[in-house]
Structure 1
Amino acid sequence: MTTVTEPVATVSRRPPVRRWTGKRLAPYLFVLPAVALFAIFKLYPIAWSFWLSLFRTDGALQTFAGTANYERLAGDPLFWTALGNTAVILLVQVPVMLALAIGLAVALNSPLLRFRGFVRLGFFMPMITGLVAYGLLFAVLLNPQFGLVNWVLGLAGVGPVPWLTDTLWARVAIGLALTWHYTGYNAVIYLSRLQSLPQDHYDAAAVDGAGAWNRLRHVTLPGLRPVILLTLVMSTIGTLQLFDEPYVMTNGGPDNSTMTLGLYLYNNGFKFFDFGYASAIGYALAVIIGILGIVQFRFLGDRS
């Protein structure tokens, strides 16, 4: 005799309803102040600046201009002069500064160095000096008439150098100020990386007969590659935004030879009150920084 079994009905179970209890809300409540501050002081100014870049300022009147401010950049000779001046500083001063920082870091890492902590602090001290303060300091030191540098050069039989009144020497003066201020900072970054490199690599190179130069070339520099990329990107961003030093030392002169993108943006925004054009300059600067950053990561980043 065959028994027929009826299928048992399956009861569908609904997924549990997730209720926002106090424990679930707590992490978001802790993050909320930081997100709110970021939105108010970062996102909102960025968005408002882009909106301003679409307007033309005529006195107190602002009229919608679309992309006219960006088209104006292409035909503005002073913008291209400022871009060229900034590029010169980027291509000349930054490599010299980073090369000096690497050499300084290697010297500070030497076991033969005495009073190591004191010496390292001395080279890092310029970094904590305010930008305006050290700009004024260099403006006084390099003053063509009564500056200390020209007085010392005079004792050595060298005639006065027009540091701040000649187009070439004014750029050199800006480069010297930047190098003095940031070399020690970059050297400390390199030093921290050097101290983390395995000593076995240097010992193996010494066993193979590598001299000091070959150890620097084949062990130290490859080991410093990540932080070289870091400092290069940071220096590129800082140079493209350069404002304080040319503003305090030369005010963009002589003959706009030290006019940088940051200073040109400031002049349009806070001297001529052309906030729309200044905003367009700011966004053009952001695009340039982004492109250079991508190129640097492409050629210097880790390809493994």
Structure 2
Amino acid sequence: MTAERSQDEGRITDEEIQRKIPPSARGREIQVGIFVLVGIVSFIAALFLLTDPAMFRGRYKVSTEVPDAGGIRRGDPVQMRGVNIGRVDGFEMAGAGVRITIEVAGEWPIPSDSRARLAAPGILGGRTVEVIPGSSPQLLMPGGVMPGESVSGVMDIADDLGEQARVTLDRIQGLLDDEAIASVHASLRDLGALMSSMATIVRDQRDEVAAISASLRRSAGQIEELTGNPELERGLARADSTLAELRVAGESLTHATESFETVIGRVERGEGTLGKLATDEDLYQNLNTALEEILLLERDIRENPGRYIRLRIF
């Protein structure tokens, strides 16, 4: 115990050492420490100022220029063939477009003839820079520039569709003018009346021809008994053929009249698309010309039925 006490008494404690150091030496130590700390901070600051911070993360920066950034944001992903290879680092105005700087991971080299495309934004917003790789064996170096293009977004497409819809509605409204619709209605009524009149004329002529044919048959029977002339049979056959043609024509005109009455009814109820043709001046003029020609034909048939129906007995 006595030996241990003597050893403890012979030791110098830290407090005694601190008391024995002169104050000037302590100040120098503090100054040296501060100087070393300032040197380290200055060295780190110089590295960040003189070099690209991306290099410390194993990345490199390239840029692209597009006419419209379309709401791109810092940190938006950069993809190549569907794989995330980096992010948007920043953007700035450059002439008539926008220069976008992207930061790419070092393990993803980009061919020098690649191009960048801004993909359409998603439902939640944000855009993706798609790098479309080229086929060049040379690689895009840090600081290189790729040509860029923008893709129309959902809102741009919706705006285009809306504009097209407005133009179409304006055209439809122009076609559905009240005066034009009334003119078409009147023309259809006149044409329907004319077709009805023509059908009546054909029915009347058919009845007359039927009566003439019956009379000729009776006369032919009597004449055949007397003369047995085959020319009379041929005349009767031609009369039967003419009667059959008139019957078919009468049925066709009757069906046409019913069809026009149906069309007129649909147009008056606002159905169909005939009203859209009201502004076609050429169609309207052609329709009037056709009506005039049909009226002239009707008048000529009434005045000269023999010009259209010829019966030869001999």
TM-score bin (small chain) = under 0.3
Q: Flag the structure with higher helix content.
A: 1
Largest Rg, 1 or 2: 2
Q: TM-score, normalised by structure 1?
A: 0.22
Q: Flag the structure with higher strand content.
A: 2
